[in-house]
Structure 1
C-alpha cells in the first residue's frame, strides 16, 4: 500500500465530529463526603442515583467543586490532607498535605486557589490548584472550621467556634484583616455568602441561631432563631433563601433573606441528624446529608418538600453540587484513539512495497 493510500485511509480517523446536543453533555453531580467510610459518593442528580464511590483519605469531611467543574477537593480530617479528584474519571489524582484536622475547603471564583480550614493547627492553608501544593499558611486562632469566599474573591470568611468569632482574610495578602465577635453566637460553624457579596450567614451551633454579617462594616445586623444545633447552611443562587441543617432537631430551616425570618421548617421525609446542605446550580433542589441515617434527602425548593432519598456511605458530612462537562471526556480520549488507529495501520503495512 502506498503512503498516499495510508494517508487517505487515516483521513476519516482524524475527523472529530461535534457531538449532537452538546449542551446535554453537561451533567450535574453531587459529591458527598462519607466520614466513616473514607469515601466520596457521586450522585447523578438527574436520576438521584449513586454512580461512583471514590476512596479518599481518613475521615473525609467536606468537598468543594472547582468553578469549571473539572476537580473536586475533599478535606481528610484524620489524614491532614486534601484529596484532589478528577471529576471526569472520578479518580484521585493528587493528595496535598495541609494542617491538622482540616475540615472546610473552598475554591476561589477563578479556580486558582483553594482555602482549607485546619481546626487543630489553628491555621488556613492556601493551595495553588495548578501545582496542587500549599503556597501559604495563615494563622487563625479559635479552631478554624469552615470557610467561604466572597463572589469577587477578595475576602475569605472563616468560622472559629472555639472563640465564637468569624475571621476575615484578605486573599490578596493572605492575612487576617478583621475578627468579628460582637453578635456572633456560640460555636459558629457553617458559613455562606450571598451572591451579591453583601451578607454573610453564619450557623451558630451552640446558640441555635444564624448570625447575619454586613460585609461592608463587618458587623452583625441580624440574629435569626432556627432549630437545634444548626451545622451547615447554603444560600440559593438568587440569594432569596438560606437553607439551614439543624442537626439535633432533624429539620431544615428556610430563611427569607429579605426579612431575615424563617418562612418554613422542613421535617417530613428528612433522615436523622441532618448536617450538610447544598443547592443545585439552578436552585430547584436542596440536598441534605443525614449523618446517622446514611442518606441524602432531596428537597424541592418550590414546595419545600422531600422528593427523594438517596443512600450513600457511612456518616455523610459535607457535600457539594456542581456541573461537570462530560463532553470533555470525549476530547480527552480522542487523540489516544487516533494514535492507536494510526499505529495499527502502520503495523498492517509494514513489509509491503508500494
Structure 2
C-alpha cells in the first residue's frame, strides 16, 4: 500500500465548524471528521485507491486522486457526494490547487508528468514533463510557482504556473517525498525519505540553504499558519519532528501511532492531525504542548492518507 501525506487547507469563508477529510485507500472512501468532537461523521465512496486530496479555496469542492484507476473524483462538500470524475494521464499522486481556484496541478507518478486541469471544465489543459516519479505538489501563496518532488531523481521541479514550463530543477536528498511552502512564500520545505532529513529551499533563488535531520523516513510535512513551525511525519520511527523555522532546528519530538504519513494543521494553528497508516487512526496534537490529546479510529482496515480541513456548511 502506498504511503502518503496530510495537508490542511483553509477555504476563504468561515461558516461553522471545521471538518477534516481523510482518504482511505483500504476501502475506497473519504471519511469526514468533525474536529470539534473528533468523531468520524460520514464516509463518501469514491473510486479505486484514493490517495490524496485537494480542496478549492472556497471549500465547495474536493478533488481526490484515485491511484488505482487513473481518475480524480470531484466531491461536492455541501452534498457530501461525488459529482464528477476526471480521467488523468497517469497514476495520480500529489495534487494542489492554485490560490485563485482556477486550476489543479496533478503529479502522475508513472509517466513523469504534471497534468494541469481547468477546474471550470474539469479537463486537462496542459502537460508538463518533470523529474522521475513525481510525488507531491505545492503551490506558492502568490500562485506563480509550483514545486514538485521527484522521488526517483532526487530533485524538485519548479514550474512557472503562467507558462506551464519548468524553470528550475533543485537537487535535494534521497527520495524526496513531501513538500510545504511557508505562508510568506519565501521557503519550501522538502522531506527526504531515505536521507532522514528535510531540505529547506530559498524560493527566491531556488537553492537549498539548510538541511535538517529528523526521524526515520520522513514523509509528510505541514507548516503552521504563522510560519513559525514545521511538523514532519517520520514514517519509520512513529513520531513527529517539530522544526523551528527561524533556526531550522528540531525543538520537539512527539510519539504517535504506527507509520505516520499524512499531516495537517488546523486554520487557527492550535492542533495538528496525523494519519497513522498501520494503526488505522488519526492522532491529534496540541501545538501549545506538543502532546497527543486525542486519537480517532478510522476503522474498516483502511489506511488514512491525507487530511484536508475546511469549514463546515
For 2:122 and 2:156, locate their aligned partners in 1 and report how far apart those are by CA, in whole Å: 27
TM-score (norm 1): 0.83
Equivalent in the alignment of 2:267: 281
Equivalent in the alignment of 1:305: 291
- Could you tell me whether the CA contact under 8 Å between 1:64 and 1:319 is conserved in 2? no
Equivalent in the alignment of 2:51: 61
Equivalent in the alignment of 1:74: 64
| 2:75 aligned with 1:85 | yes
SS in 2 for 1:233: strand
Q: Show the 5 A alignment for 1:315-334.
A: 315-324=303-312, 326=313
Equivalent in the alignment of 2:248: 260
Q: Show the 5 A alignment for 1:92-107.
A: 92-107=82-97
TM-score (norm 2): 0.94
Equivalent in the alignment of 2:258: 272
For 1:74 and 1:24, locate their aligned partners in 2 and report how far apart those are by CA, in whole Å: 22
SS in 1 for 2:285: strand
CA deviation profile, 1:44-89 (whole Å, cap 9, x unmatched): 1111111110111111111111111111111011111111100111
For 1:197 and 1:303, locate their aligned partners in 2 and report how far apart those are by CA, in whole Å: 27
For 2:269 and 2:116, locate their aligned partners in 1 and report how far apart those are by CA, in whole Å: 29
Residues 281 and 166 from structure 1, CA distance in 2 versus in 1: closer, same or farther, beyond 3 angstroms? same
Query: Normalized per residue, which structure has more strand?
Result: 2
Shift of 1:317: 1.2
Which structure has more relative contact order (CA 8 Å, sep 6+)? It is 2
Query: Normalized per residue, which structure has more helix?
Result: 1
For 1:87 and 1:126, locate their aligned partners in 2 and report how far apart those are by CA, in whole Å: 22
- Could you tell me whether the CA contact under 8 Å between 1:187 and 1:204 is conserved in 2? yes
Could you tell me which of 159, 175, 180 is aligned with 1:192?
Answer: 180
CA deviation profile, 1:26-47 (whole Å, cap 9, x unmatched): 2211111111111111111111
Could you tell me which of 165, 169, 192 is aligned with 1:204?
Answer: 192
Could you tell me which of 154, 170, 190 is aligned with 1:164?
Answer: 154
Gaps of 5+ in 2: 1-12
| 2:112 aligned with 1:122 | yes
Equivalent in the alignment of 1:234: 222
Structure 1: 4+ residue segments shifted above 6 A: none
CA deviation profile, 1:201-231 (whole Å, cap 9, x unmatched): 0000010000000001100000000000001
Shift of 1:24: 8.2
**Aligned Cα root-mean-square deviation (Å):** 1.1
CA deviation profile, 1:97-123 (whole Å, cap 9, x unmatched): 112221101111111111111111111
For 1:106 and 1:155, locate their aligned partners in 2 and report how far apart those are by CA, in whole Å: 11
Equivalent in the alignment of 1:294: 280
Could you tell me which of 3, 22, 26 is aligned with 1:36?
Answer: 26
| 2:36 aligned with 1:46 | yes
